[in-house]
């Protein structure tokens, strides 16, 4: 996975309203929110890569499902681990706690605050990954 374009795609999908929501959660401005989103997406990307090594079948199946049935709306979260969105959603939910802890270590933010940001980012990340998986099958 190439992280920079993925980060940009997620930031584009969040748009100004999503970034303002995250900025409000963090008590920062849009630039600070962009930085945290970038760090979060980078950690999710690394987590997916790690998971692909430890359980390649799970990751392959999640991406295959994303290609077959792309998300039509935004998945909802009922807190960390309560994620809708099929196998990919479940996979992201399983790695969300380690991602929150890693982002907290890197940024100095409390893990609970990062978890709230992740609640906003995961549905957008799911949508972006689903669109990418679908686009990849049309080439």
Task: Dump pLDDT digits (tens) for 36-54.
Answer: 999 999 998 888 888 777 8
The 3 state secondary structure assigned to 24-72 is HHHCCCHHHHHHHHHHHHHHHHHHHHHHHHHCHHHHHHHHHHHHHCCCC
Mean pLDDT, the chain, whole residue set = 79
Summarize the confidence of residues 1-20 as an average pLDDT: 85
pLDDT tens column, 90-126: 788 788 889 999 999 999 999 999 999 999 998 898 8
pTM score > 0.95 for this model?
no
What's the pLDDT score for residue 27?
94
């Amino acid at each position: 996975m190439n992280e920079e374009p993925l980060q940009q795609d997620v930031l584009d999908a969040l748009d100004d309203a999503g970034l303002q929501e995250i900025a409000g959660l963090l008590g920062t401005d849009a630039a600070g929110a962009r930085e945290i989103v970038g760090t979060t997406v980078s950690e999710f990307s690394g987590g997916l890569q790690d998971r692909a090594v430890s359980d390649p079948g799970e990751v392959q199946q999640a991406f295959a499902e994303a290609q077959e049935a792309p998300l039509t709306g935004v998945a909802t979260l009922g807190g960390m681990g309560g994620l809708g969105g099929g196998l990919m959603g479940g996979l992201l939910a399983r790695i969300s706690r380690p991602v929150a802890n890693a982002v907290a270590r890197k940024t100095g933010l409390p893990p609970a605050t990062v978890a709230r940001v992740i609640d906003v980012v995961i549905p957008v990340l799911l949508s972006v990954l689903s669109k990418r998986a679908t686009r990849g099958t049309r080439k």
